[in-house]
Structure 1
């Protein structure tokens, strides 16, 4: 018997069932997409003999309408009925920031009740790393502005309580975003509860200054995931030009991880990820450095 002829408990085939199905039987939440677009840029150097410092940055748009008018938010918008989540993310990013043709991966789905004052909204967040020097950023008609913000997420407070079945770990993450015109901040509380083999994590925005909706906790989680992924994937190479020095590559890892790395260990771990070339840098004031390129056939040996 063909599958579409199988009858349910009411004696209907699938075709008969679908012909009378009431699509309005259940309330429909709205679905949106929000994009975390990270880049790493060079800070201007005061001494030309010193290497430029690199800074992690995130792209935000300034909301031009209610709710949260005048506050800064992640690029994003509502998913249309006849498009996939991925297509919606690419469309919204193009419409709101003029960024096109980049790879993005799904990060997490946010569905807390009351997270949007307009209606019940579930948001699927995406993450991408890009070379901002190749981007022509322009805000859309429904956004007042689009800008890169230097971003940092640091552990502000931590408390671990041992329980009968496991433990509860509470962390406060201090989030700071800034550029030449704006300074934004937030405190995000993360509570991780472990009971035997069951782990639950709850995230809450405790305080937010200038960051719209619950986007502060989306940003904090995005940085957490980025720091995790950079340890075992080649995601960092999305930020690199075709040719680069090993020092430049290490700087990118350090600015994302927010810590210094031992040169010898770093080069050992990334050895198979790069291919040595016969070219050298030609920067004035510095000794020439060997240039490398990404090895697409590397074998994962990252810890």
Structure 2
């Protein structure tokens, strides 16, 4: 063919000969419960097959005339009623058999937002929606080492619990880390013979997002998305601990966040304790430097 217009016209006639995957978006929305200190994420209960009545991440198919970013926001609003939250794209999931309906690629997103600003309202193909506490438990850890490689394999039980609905969803995953000299790789896979009650491969997406969140808390300002304009350092430390899933030493924590906060000169009295100083986020702090 002599020109591009002719090529494109012929291509349009023949394009249906080629198989094409569909594209979906899935979003992991994390928050922190202040009532009972815990890291929580948002799940929807599926109304239709496949995985009817199972709990899953909000998400769905991208329309032909929208971007991934538009699709994730639309699906989140349709299924949960939540609108206009900042979401960061994390990873594209492309396992061949990840969805029983057809060949589907999913672009996963993550958001971290205060719970009190969100009003849930299940809709579209979601039967219900709710906040689930996140718990991970190491079941088994093995190491293998040769001259060329070091490998760590860990089996992890992921448990998501909503006490108000008396619902629990679980999945067992295998995380394999390999190091070849200075090169490293990490894979997450489902343990297929375990009792997995989280829809599709969403347990993998959740665990991967949790790892990314914990990593980002260490070197970015992401935790401040969960704080009010003014806060105490004990309350800020509690949020860090909930996200990281471990206790932190007070002095070490305060050295770590010293440049990220500014004292307001105000105090607040909480319970029977003496007044605590209020701080605010230092907007001049950018990834560890002023």
Question: Shorter-normalised TM-score: what interval?
Answer: over 0.9
What 5-or-longer segments of structure 1 have no aligned partner?
1-10, 45-53
Counterpart in the other structure of 1:49: none
Distance 1:163 1:12, change over 3 A: farther
**In structure 1, which of residues 233, 242, 245 is the aligned counterpart of residue 232 of structure 2?**
245
Distance 1:97 1:120 in 2: 26
The answer to whether residue 23 in structure 2 is matched with residue 24 in structure 1 is no
Are the counterparts in 2 of residues 208 and 216 from structure 1 also a CA contact under 8 Å?
no
Distance 2:63 2:124 in 1: 19
Distance 1:299 1:202, change over 3 A: closer
* 1:153, distance to aligned residue in structure 2 (A): 2.0
The answer to whether residue 167 in structure 2 is matched with residue 185 in structure 1 is no
Distance 1:124 1:271, change over 3 A: same
Q: Comparing 71-80 with 273-282, which one deviates more in the overlay?
A: 273-282
Distance 1:194 1:153 in 2: 24
* 1:274, distance to aligned residue in structure 2 (A): 1.0
* 1:283, distance to aligned residue in structure 2 (A): 3.2
Counterpart in the other structure of 2:95: 112
What 5-or-longer segments of structure 2 have no aligned partner?
none
The answer to whether residue 209 in structure 2 is matched with residue 222 in structure 1 is yes
Q: Comparing 157-166 with 103-112, which one deviates more in the overlay?
A: 157-166
* 1:130, distance to aligned residue in structure 2 (A): 0.6
Q: Deviations over 1:136-182 (max 9, x none)?
A: 11100321110000102233221110124212221111211112111
Matches within 5 A, 1:259-278: 259-278=246-265
Counterpart in the other structure of 1:33: 25
Are the counterparts in 2 of residues 33 and 77 from structure 1 also a CA contact under 8 Å?
yes
Are the counterparts in 2 of residues 174 and 187 from structure 1 also a CA contact under 8 Å?
yes
The answer to whether residue 285 in structure 2 is matched with residue 298 in structure 1 is yes
Q: Deviations over 1:58-112 (max 9, x none)?
A: 0000011100001100000000111100110111111111111110001111110
Residue 230 of structure 1 aligns to a residue in which SS?
helix
Q: Give me the TM-score of the superposition, normalised by structure 1.
A: 0.89
Residue 89 of structure 2 aligns to a residue in which SS?
strand
The answer to whether residue 155 in structure 2 is matched with residue 172 in structure 1 is yes
Q: CA RMSD in A?
A: 1.6
Counterpart in the other structure of 2:66: 83
Counterpart in the other structure of 1:51: none
**In structure 1, which of residues 202, 205, 230 is the aligned counterpart of residue 187 of structure 2?**
202
Counterpart in the other structure of 1:12: 2
Distance 1:77 1:202 in 2: 24
* 1:197, distance to aligned residue in structure 2 (A): 4.8
Are the counterparts in 2 of residues 188 and 204 from structure 1 also a CA contact under 8 Å?
yes
Q: Give me the TM-score of the superposition, normalised by structure 2.
A: 0.92
Are the counterparts in 1 of residues 270 and 276 from structure 2 also a CA contact under 8 Å?
no
Counterpart in the other structure of 1:73: 56
- Structure whose CA Rg is larger: 1
